Amino acid sequence: MVKAVVMEGPGKLSVKEFPYPKVERGSALIKVEMAGICGTDKHMFKGETVHPRGLLTKFPIIPGHEVVGRIAEVSDEASKSMELLGRELKVGDRVVLDCAITCGKCYSCRKYPGFPFCDKYSGHYGWGLTCKDPPHLFGGWSEYLYALPDTRLLKVPPEVPPEVAVLTEPMTVPIMSFTMASNAVSTSYLYPPPEYVVIQGSGPIGMLHLIFSKLIGTGEVIMIGRPEYRLKIAEAFGASYVINIDEIKKPEERVREVLHLTGGRGADLVIEATGNASALPEGLEMLGRLGTYVITGIYIDVGEVSINPQRLILSKWAHIVGVPGQTHQSYPKALELLRKYEGKVGFSRLITHRFKLEEAVKAMEVALSEECMKVVFTP
């Protein structure tokens, strides 16, 4: 039998057992080494369950889309075609998961190659495939994950340990953010580097954007978040300034502070990594002329927000970009960055808490408390 954490609906977490699966043609089985808890998982736990493009959480689910593990079994077909860069897969290989399943051959896969738009979309691991139906194991909070045909796995170099590799999926997010933003007039005008970057949100995604900003030589990075625990980490990773929203409670005061820190001009680039709709008007207020605003945290539908399009967009000559996921190609870049800069950056320090599957309720509590950075399961 295979042990896994099941979320049966909002607020309901338990450990279940599933039969050990038979690996079918085109498929593979991964022995999970480590799987992260993401903001998306917290949203679903809280009952916010509408993903991009209106896709719904398919309860009951085994959560977990940030996954590293070792190949336990692999079919002939999968061994030749499932590795993201075309390499052979063998039992024992350490891999990370590309969490979106796309066919690569339909209208949308052809028109937007590498993007997770697929007309034959069959699901996302961790939330878009129910565990009701066999082979059940479609999430990373489990001893094993079953990789269906058309899934992509990326081989991990031997020198990269699980606590670094597990960050591959979240690390693709800043890569997408900066790639999308770099196409906007403002950043190319300022290229390189943006002088002032504001990051709204001090969780793991915000932190990876901070690290990425520093790696590509942007100027000052201002991080806005909470609690103290996380802002201390932000400073350790190179934030020039932190703004604690528990202390500076009024958005207009935070805006004033950012304007002050940027010499009255506002930021060249503002990254939303909060999951909170009210971040949008606040962040647009902080944006300077020809600035770029990237929405990456409002991944789950959390409702509407009111903005002034003239004052906050047109008048600033602003660009707004939404980033709901990642291309295939961003995975190898993310893993390579993690590998290359682990010595210099120490990404593994972001993994602050580790739990066994049986401790799922406690793990979620810690994640919700925000007195943590990345919380992971080590099944």
Report the residue number, 133 or 306, with the smaller CB distance to a copy of itself. 306
Q: Stretches 60-68, 89-97, 115-123, 244-252: which one binds a copy of itself (CB under 8 A)? A: 115-123
Specify the 3-state DSSP secondary structure of 95: strand
DSSP 85: T
Among 32, 129, 137, 175, binds a copy of itself (CB under 8 A): 175
Q: Does 295 bind a copy of itself (CB under 8 A)?
A: yes
Which of Zn ion, a copy of itself, none binds 15 (CB below 5-8 Å, type-dependent)?
none
Instruction: Give the CA angle between residues 292, 38, 197 to the nearest 5°.
Output: 25
Whichever of 109 and 224 has its CB closer to Zn ion, that residue is 109
- DSSP reduced 3-state for 353: strand
**Euclidean distance between CA atoms 136 and 118, whole angstroms:** 22
Query: Could you say which residues in the range 308-347 bind a copy of itself, by CB under 8 A?
Result: 308-311, 313-325, 328-329, 332, 336, 340
Residues 191-210 that bind a copy of itself (CB under 8 A): 191-193, 195
- Select from 60, 70, 149, 179 the one that contacts a copy of itself (CB under 8 A): 179
Q: Name the DSSP letter for residue 248.
A: S
* Helix, strand or coil, per DSSP, at residue 116: coil
Rank residues 143 and 342 by Cβ distance to a copy of itself and give the closer one. 342
Size of the site for a copy of itself (CB under 8 A): 81
Q: Which of 219, 227, 238, 251 binds a copy of itself (CB under 8 A)?
A: 219
| CB-neighbour burial class of residue 195 (10 A; exposed 0-12, middle 13-18, buried 19+) | middle
Task: Quote the radius of gyration of the chain (alpha carbons, Å).
Answer: 20
* Dihedral (CA of 292, 297, 301, 302) sign: negative
Residues 259-288 touching a copy of itself, rule: CB under 8 A, are: 277, 280
Residue 183 binding target from Zn ion, a copy of itself, none, CB below 5 to 8 Å by type: a copy of itself
Closest CA to 125 of 108, 143, 148: 148
- By CB under 5 A, tell whether 118 contacts Zn ion: yes
| Residue 87 lies near a copy of itself (rule: CB under 8 A) | yes
Residue type at 95 in one-letter notation:
V
* Cα-Cα end-to-end distance for the chain: 14
- Contacts of Zn ion in 32-51 (CB under 5 A): 38, 40
Least distance between Zn ion and beta carbon 326 (Å): 10
Per-residue contact flags (x/-) with Zn ion for residues 64 to 103, judged by CB under 5 A: --------------------------------------xx
CB atoms within 10 A of CB 339: 17
Q: What is residue 300's three-state secondary structure?
A: coil
Helical packing angle, 204-215 and 228-236, nearest 10°: 20
CB 123 within 8 A of CB 101: yes
**If contact means CB under 5 to 8 A according to the sort of partner, which of Zn ion, a copy of itself, none does residue 43 touch?**
none
Which residues of this protein are in contact with Zn ion, per CB under 5 A? Answer: 38, 40, 102-103, 106, 109, 118, 120
